[in-house]
Amino acid sequence: MDNNLLTPDKDPMGAAIFDYHQNRKAGRLRVFSSQFDEDEIPVKQLFRTLKQMPILEQTALKLAQGKILDVGAGSGCHALALQEMKKEVCAIDISPLSVEVMKEQGVKDVRLLNLFDEHFRETFDTILMLMNGSGIIGRIENIPAFFLRMKQLLSPGGCILMDSSDLRYLFEEEDGSFLIDIAGDYYGQVDFRMQYKDIKGDSFDWLYIDPQTLELYASENGFKVEIVKRGKHYDYLAKLTLT
Ligand code: SAH
């Protein structure tokens, strides 16, 4: 799996987070995909407080315990909320700009690090992957490598708390049936590219996974899945533990 870091010239989200942190406002963080129409991520949302977070995220933060790893921590919103709750958290991200902002915001343990960098060998009681956290897995075929990495990073009895969405609603017909090409790639595999001002990122894969598919792959790789909570729109929070 790719275990690189971003550079500021290829890191639109980091640049947006940096801008918002400095000026309390930011331009448009634009999202492109070959599968969807152009979209936007409101930069302010990346700085959400505990109260502003969706219920799935609030639940994950409540359940997180022991030594916690916040994977792809962004502006540090979850890490800061956990610190407020007097919990112990290490935040990692591949974006140098985001890591800088997290330090300035007061996240105590922040590292510029890719989840898949095998030099990183600490263990954690809770691994948090939030805001469609399954996305970091990228593609279905990366799932075995992802679970191997999780086995290295989890303390005995530890768990992964991850949110995702079932994208099947995008393929819903008027009669309520779903038109999905089963010979094609898995329907939750999405390619994204982001742009902030004139900073254009490279295209990357982001995996949305439905609960059944997650359970299937988890069981093949020695994990069991508990769906802790379901959101209002095909989204859910899963807790994964070793079998
Ligand atoms: N969790 C934050 C940010 C989500 S955006 C929030 O909920 O607001 C996803 C973040 O993951 C980005 O900041 C991106 O730089 C980071 N990221 C992507 N791939 C990563 C990887 N392999 N290892 C660590 N961080 C990663």
Instruction: Provide the domain count of the chain.
Output: 1
The tokens for 151 are 């086995």
Residue 74 CB less than 6 A away from ligand 1: yes
Domain assignment present for 222: yes
pLDDT value, residue 67: 98
What global pTM score does this model have?
A: 0.96
pLDDT value, residue 14: 98
Using alpha carbons, list the distances in angstroms from residue 211 to 164, 167, 171, 184: 8, 11, 17, 19
Domain assignment present for 3: no
Residue 115 CB less than 6 A away from ligand 1: yes
Domain assignment present for 78: yes
Domain assignment present for 172: yes
pLDDT value, residue 91: 98
Domain assignment present for 195: no
Bridge partners of 70?
91, 128
Closest residue to atom 8 of ligand 1, CA basis: 46
Domain assignment present for 223: yes
Domain assignment present for 221: yes
User: Which pLDDT tens digit goes with each residue over 68-89?
Assistant: 999 999 999 999 999 999 999 9
**For position 84, which CATH number holds?**
3.40.50.150
Q: Which atom of ligand 1 is nearest to the CA of 93?
A: 25
Residue 91 CB less than 6 A away from ligand 1: no
Query: Sign of the CA dihedral 8, 9, 14, 19?
Result: positive
Domain assignment present for 198: no
Rounded to an integer, what distance in angstroms lies between the CA atom of residue 60 and that of residue 161? 6
Rounded to an integer, what distance in angstroms lies between the CA atom of residue 79 and that of residue 102? 9
The domain in which residue 179 lies consists of 53-188+204-242
Residuewise pLDDT in 10s, the chain (243 residues):
788 999 999 999 999 999 999 999 999 999 999 989 999 999 999 999 999 999 999 999 999 999 999 999 999 999 999 999 999 999 999 999 999 999 999 999 999 999 999 999 999 999 999 999 999 999 999 999 999 999 999 999 999 999 999 998 888 788 888 777 777 889 999 999 999 999 999 999 999 999 999 999 999 999 999 999 999 999 999 999 999
Residue 77 CB less than 6 A away from ligand 1: yes
Phi, psi of 74 (to 5 degrees): 65, -125
